[in-house]
Amino acid sequence: MKTSKFLVGVVLILIFFYSCDSNQRDVQELIDPWLRERTPIAFKVEGQVGEAVIVNNWRKDEDGSINVTLISSAINDLRNVQVLSLELQYNATSSLGVGGTLDLSDGSDSFVVEAENGETRTYVVTFDEFYEPIVGDYAVEQLWLYGGTGPEYGGGAVWPMMEKSWRWNVDGKPTAEEDNIISLVLKGVNEETGDTYGTCYNDAGPDGMYASFIYDDRNWVKHDLKHFYRCIPEGEGEWEKNSQTGVITFISKEGVRRSCTLLTAGTHAFDQYKSITIEKLAFNFPVTEGVEDNWDVIWQDDAKYLHHPRNFVVKMEKL
């Protein structure tokens, strides 16, 4: 009799657990996961670099986050950042649409995504600033030159542009640049190459003057040498930076392009005999067009400044 009661109890327990497990499976099978989907597939706003990072809070299903990398200087108003792309899951809807705006002036804003079954999730959008190290303001300190015919024979020189000050006998001597402020502002990045670009502004400073680069040769004939030395445009221009080589190109309003590399503090060799010491930073512009050796004046100033300048260097300090 006791054995029979025991067997009956075991059977009842098995039926109970089977019934619970069956009901649990039945409930799960009734929930269509597509009806609950409210995760954005893609998200992009103006000034964004790269893909957005979309994360759901697995501890709290109603919360999510979206982080993007922005070039804030490419956005006119952070209070009205336009949405360029928002792709949602099956039949989900959003309180924010393409063409809508977010207010990121305080660092974040949010919008709500609703699944087909009515469940919602609030996404908080935040951003990190895209970093381009050359962006900023630079105070020009001094203009330098490396040039000459036959530097391997002692015909080369590295000196400040004003080393032979009497060669600059008009208003706008090279010293006119020594109170200039050069500002580089980031406007965008090529997402395929990683190259950056933006606007530059060469402010003339308190004296309101730019160097004219009018040079007096040994016969006191004047030469306009802007084609050699006006490497950074007067006033407003543009800049580009090659992400692979680090070469920076300045572009004037007239479309003149002049490229340089950024020299950091230290000693940099131009050849086996001549080098330059950079105290802080410098833009180093190779001069390659319109130059020629003149062996008749190898020891003269004209060989350096006029006939074969080789590098134009703008020493500066980043503010």
- Upper half-sphere CA count for residue 141 (Cβ side, 13 Å): 13
Report the domain count for the chain: 2
Q: Three-state SS for 300?
A: coil
For residue 179, tell me if it sits in a domain. yes
**Is residue 43 domain-shared with residue 180, that is, in the same domain?**
no
For residue 21, tell me if it sits in a domain. no
**Is residue 83 domain-shared with residue 168, that is, in the same domain?**
no
Q: What is the CATH number of the domain that holds 79?
A: 2.60.40.2340
pTM, two decimals, is 0.82
Bridge partner residues of 183 (DSSP):
137, 201
Q: Which amino acid does the sequence have at 100?
A: G
**Is residue 140 domain-shared with residue 240, that is, in the same domain?**
yes
For residue 47, tell me if it sits in a domain. yes
**Is residue 120 domain-shared with residue 140, that is, in the same domain?**
no
Cα separation, 312 vs 270, whole angstroms: 11
**Is residue 116 domain-shared with residue 55, that is, in the same domain?**
yes
Q: CB–CB of 71/49 below 8 Å? A: yes
Domain boundary among 68, 98, 129: 129
Q: What does the block give as tokens for 138?
A: 């630079």
Cβ-Cβ contacts under 8 Å for 118 (sequence gap 6 or more): none
**Is residue 216 domain-shared with residue 231, that is, in the same domain?**
yes
Cα separation, 143 vs 172, whole angstroms: 13
pLDDT at 138: 98
Kind and range of the H or E run holding 27:
helix 2-30
pLDDT at 33: 73
pLDDT at 267: 98
**Is residue 123 domain-shared with residue 221, that is, in the same domain?**
no
Domain boundary among 129, 144, 162: 129
**Is residue 59 domain-shared with residue 185, that is, in the same domain?**
no
pLDDT at 11: 45
Of 263, 269, 281, 270, the closest CA to residue 309 belongs to 270
What are the φ/ψ torsions at residue 153 (nearest 5 degrees)? Answer: -110, 15
For residue 14, tell me if it sits in a domain. no
For residue 27, tell me if it sits in a domain. no
Domain of 103, in residue numbers = 34-129
**Is residue 57 domain-shared with residue 180, that is, in the same domain?**
no
For residue 118, tell me if it sits in a domain. yes
Q: Max Cα separation, the chain?
A: 133
Domain boundary among 129, 158, 184: 129
Strands (E), 46-107: 48-56, 63-70, 81-87, 93-94, 101-102
Residues composing the chain = 319
Cα separation, 243 vs 210, whole angstroms: 30
**Is residue 118 domain-shared with residue 265, that is, in the same domain?**
no
For residue 71, tell me if it sits in a domain. yes
**Is residue 172 domain-shared with residue 313, that is, in the same domain?**
yes
**Is residue 120 domain-shared with residue 222, that is, in the same domain?**
no
Q: CB–CB of 140/180 below 8 Å? A: yes
For residue 15, tell me if it sits in a domain. no
Q: What does the block give as tokens for 315?
A: 């020493």
Q: What does the block give as tokens for 298?
A: 């190898």
For every residue of 199-261, which 3-state class applies, written as one string? Answer: EEEEECCCCCCCCCCEEECCCCCEEECHHHHCCCCCEEEEEEECCCCCCEEEECCCCCEEEEE
pLDDT at 192: 87
pLDDT of 206-261, one tens digit each? Answer: 999 999 999 999 999 999 999 999 999 999 999 999 999 999 999 999 999 999 99
Regions of the chain where pLDDT drops below 70: 1-31
